[in-house]
Amino acid sequence: MTFEQLIPAPNSARWVASTPGSLPLDQETVLRALPGTEGVARWLRATVGAATGLRLADAPEGEAGGGGERSVELRVDPGLAAEAYRLTVEEDTVRIEGGSAAGVFWGAQTFRQLLGPDAFRRAPLDPAAAWSVPRVAVEDAPRFRWRGMMLDVSRHFMPKDGVLRYLDLLAAHKLNVFHFHLTDDQGWRVEIKRHPRLTEVGSWRARSKWGHRFSPLWEERPHGGFYTQEDIREIVAYADSLHIAVVPEIEIPGHSQAAISAYPHLGNTDVVDTGSLTVWDTWGVNPNVLAPTEEVLRFYEGVFEEVLDLFPSTFIHVGGDECPKDQWKASATAQARIKELGVEGEDGLQSWFIRHFDQWLTARGRRLIGWDEILEGGLAEGATVSSWRGYRGGIAAARSGHDVIMCPEQHVYLDHRQDGGPDEPMPIGFVRTLEDVYRFEPVPAELTEEEAAHVIGTQANVWTEVMEHQGRVDYQVFPRLAAFSEVAWGTLPAPAERDFADFERRMGTHYARLDALGVDYRRPSGPLPYQQRPGVLGRPIEGPPPNV
């Protein structure tokens, strides 16, 4: 294994000597963790140690590298950028230095790749196997500070163990943000102690649409689940050990039927019999939205107080997308509110809703982030925008001085189908191949350098309407998340100039890593028989996606 198979590709990698060679590792190889790297050392022993059978015992006390034994040395170098790392395999030492513990951790992930695909297993295939690492020098740093994946657990719930597994998969690809989509019309997934019916009622639906919302098929069994506050704390702590920030999303004011079904007074009671609503069992844009009342604001302030206690993330996502205004137009309460506030119509009312929580979160040292519909009616002062409908919302936000996460659905929605063939399971949206994702560029060329600096990162989104279990999520996410990770990490040439052939060559080794990790990815040859869903209606869109 050499640096020529790494994903994401590093900024700089070379052989240490003119003649390629390797450093053998054995049971006498020690691990020297200098101050600030103790967590990375624990991770190395728990993962690489378990896969290889190497003990990686503590190095003897004394000066770094002074014992003469083979060693893996971890060190924080304040001279490097926080997430930058330098990995050097010398005569008897693997030295991993980072600008912070996070940088050291990303270097350790590269070290794991250099050991070969079997280093990604849970236990050694052969306890007597010999291990070695090539004598290389790698210097690397990420392009973006936000390199994320959003996972929707509202449409189909993923149990806690599956979430922890996905954090491992993100870390293996040097992604550092897990956007946790916890609430929607089809299920409320986080325990809120002061409002217990959110999970008692709101976390279960009686049945689920099978396929696209126009499909005639149903899965006639209850679906649901939620994370206790203890589960959330465990997920956040585990993510933190992997240097991943967990950004929770609590949807307001749209996508709220699950919450309204639990607490009918949250809805527009003067136009809808909210007491008859249940957790939604199909997909699409739901007309039942929150009422713009002080009572609703107080309710969600209580929700967010508990959310802030659970999630230390600076960013708190409030959704803000796909909020139909029909009920507000018909509601005397909403119309009176518009007059009272002096805002411009229903869009102004939504902006008022978002601005309230922007100020509320700012007062508590947090930052609001929402989908690009929060631009409608005026953008809240401190808001960051997740630009999903294309580039346009992100461009507008960046030009007005707001930070942006670029995640346009036409490019990095991983629920979109991977191929145009007839065997793709429940085909949704545009064809987005591995190569298409590899050629995605997060920063639009029309932005000035100053405006482009507001694009603080990029994110791939995974909506799970037609992903009924973990295997289906794997199929949609991989291998495309590997291509996305290289886009998010590296400074690549212009899309048309990127060397996809080289990436595809490196994927030959990466597929073996995914196999070792047990990832149920889409094979280059197409879906395996059990991955297909014959006869289940999707929503394929033909032709190339618009670049909007």
User: Where in the sequence numbering do the catalytic residues fall?
Assistant: 184, 255, 322
Q: Collapsing DSSP states into helix, strand and coil, what is residue 137?
A: strand
Are 424 and 467 spatial neighbours (Cβ–Cβ below 8 Å)? no
SS3 430: coil
**How far lies 420's CA from each of 187, 228, 328, 373, 532, in Å?**
31, 40, 40, 30, 13
Per DSSP, the chain holds a count of helices (H) and strands (E) of 18, 25
Cα–Cα dist 245/330, whole Å: 41
Nearest-angstrom CA–CA distance, 277 and 262: 9
Residue at token pair 């280093």: 119
Q: How far is residue 364 from each of residues 66, 269, 384, 385, 508, measured CA to CA in Å?
A: 48, 31, 16, 19, 47
107's CB contacts (< 8 A; 6+ apart) are 85, 86, 87, 96, 97, 98, 138, 140
Query: Cis peptide leading into 159, omega within 30 of 0?
Result: no
Distance CA 51, CA 121 (A): 5
Please tell me the distance from the alpha carbon of residue 421 to that of residue 209, in angstroms, as a whole number: 23
| Termini Cα distance of the chain | 41
How far apart, in Å, are the Cα atoms of 103 and each of 29, 81, 235, 382? 22, 8, 21, 29
Picking from 84, 98, 94, 113, the residue whose alpha carbon sits closest to that of residue 6 is: 113
Q: Which burial class, exposed, middle or buried, applies to 365 when counting CB atoms under 10 A from its CB (0-12, 13-18, 19+)?
A: exposed
User: Is residue 530 classed exposed, middle or buried when 0-12, 13-18 and 19+ CB atoms within 10 A define those classes?
Assistant: exposed
Distance between CA atoms of residues 464 and 309, nearest Å: 27
Residue 268 DSSP SS3: coil
Q: How far apart are CA 86 and CA 104, in angstroms?
A: 8
Cα 6 from chain centre: 21
CB 439 within 8 A of CB 420: no
**Is 292:253 a contact under the CB 8 Å cutoff?**
yes
